[in-house]
Amino acid sequence: MSSFTAPKGTYDLIPPDSAAFTAVRDALAAPLRGAGYGYVETPGFEHVELFSRGVGESTDIVTKEMYTLTTKGGTRLALRPEGTASVLRAALQANLHRVGNLPVKLWYSGTYYRYERPQAGRYRHFSQVGAEAIGAEDPALDAELIILAAEAHRSLGLTGVTLLLNSLGDAECRPAYRAALQAFLRGLDLDEDTRARIEINPLRVLDDKRESVRRQLTGAPMMRDHLCESCKAYHEGVRDLLREAGVPFTDDDRLVRGLDYYTRTTFEFVHGGLGSQSAVGGGGRYDGLSEMIGGPRLPSVGWALGVDRTVLALRAEGVALDLPSATDVFAVPLGEDARRALFTLVTELRRAGVRADFAYGGRGLKAAMKAANRSGARYAVVAGDRDLGEGVVQVKDLASGEQAPVALTGAVGELRQRLG
């Protein structure tokens, strides 16, 4: 055992658990690939200012949770705590909004970092699949992304996910709501940090999870009562499209989420089997973010779905994913000539698209067959000097125990046919 362990709040993703994470990541991304979203990958760290401007200087993410560092040259960098700001920065830097049709549709997958208090479902590094549609203001685009996320959950067999939906208004109607909310919040019994937040971004107080705060929010003014006609019509457009697509949702007037850049459509996917960390993903519209980070006006919408949380949701529902075996064929050589012959066969099988492995290390027959069974392979291919002299290998069905000779020259075709 190593004298080192993974840092607190992190974890190693290793087989067999890693197979479920990979399958979930692929399932979350699959609907995006079929809807015109192209893959983007950004650095694991960015300039601190990208997140302080975009995510919001008053958010817990920026004030308490970002991992920051200073380079030898004095540049301040941060490990990325979320994906949207980085993806938008990359799109602007590459001028994708100028060279392609709008919206620019991108998806991504990666690991993100926040200095959280570790607990079940909340880690200091976590994996997400995200999607961003940049440069268009259309209720159909908001609905499309929500539907694609719902389809991803459905494809995994999840039934306990609930979609929460809200509108946060825009630059026209939010100022009046902000003033009304501030007036209400100033009259509450709140700690100093929360009172400071009232002056910077009062909507964030609605996202406070502490019961001592939440019980005082009864009677707080709601954004729905302050939406301008344009925002009302936009929100109804999103809701109508979701209904027509058969995607159920629950209106949640207090849904704010933890990032400052959201406008209009805001949504979250939650699962009742995850305890206090119930969110499995979420997102919304962020029409002003491009301007916040120095770009042109580019109304946009996006989401991020947690791979870690989705795996926990599957476990909570008892959903077992249909994961392919890592190995279909396991080769067991008996003797040096057989080692060379079967190693060549394994290479040919892999080139033919068959998952194949080999008994390395000169194991005896008994140990090698145990390894074949542990690998999950459907067939073992065994050969010794006598078999090679006859130009055959022995193919054994590891489930039934049946074994029969197969011509070495036709073994690849025979095994592919048996595997379907």
List binding-site positions for L-histidine: 82-84, 114, 128, 132, 257, 261-262
Instruction: For residue 142, give both structure tokens.
Output: 């908001």
Sheet with 104-113, edge to edge strand ranges: 38-39, 104-113, 125-134, 300-306, 279-285, 263-271, 161-167, 250-251
Annotated binding site: 82-84, 114, 128, 132, 257, 261-262
